[in-house]
């Protein structure tokens, strides 16, 4: 069975918020920070570091 990545991330994110209950500001900072870093000059360096 193959599950699309977006669906897996959605399920993991939903369960993480329900079970761990992080503050809303932390969720917003992580989402906004990831979105901004993905389109920045640092994206190739982060990509090389992650791999």
pLDDT tens, position by position, 9-35: 999 999 999 999 999 999 999 999 988
**Residue 51 tokens, joined:** 């791999």
pLDDT of res. 13: 92
Work out the number of other CB atoms within 10 angstroms of the CB of residue 46.
13
Using pLDDT thresholds of 50, 70 and 90, give the confidence band for residue 49: confident
pLDDT of res. 51: 80
Give one DSSP letter per residue of 2-15, joined into a string. ---HHHHHHHHHHH
């Amino acid at each position: 069975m193959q599950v699309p990545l977006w669906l897996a991330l959605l399920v993991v994110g939903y369960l993480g918020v329900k079970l761990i209950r992080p503050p809303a500001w932390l969720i917003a900072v992580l989402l906004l920070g990831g979105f901004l870093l993905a389109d920045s000059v640092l994206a190739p360096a982060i990509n090389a570091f992650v791999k």
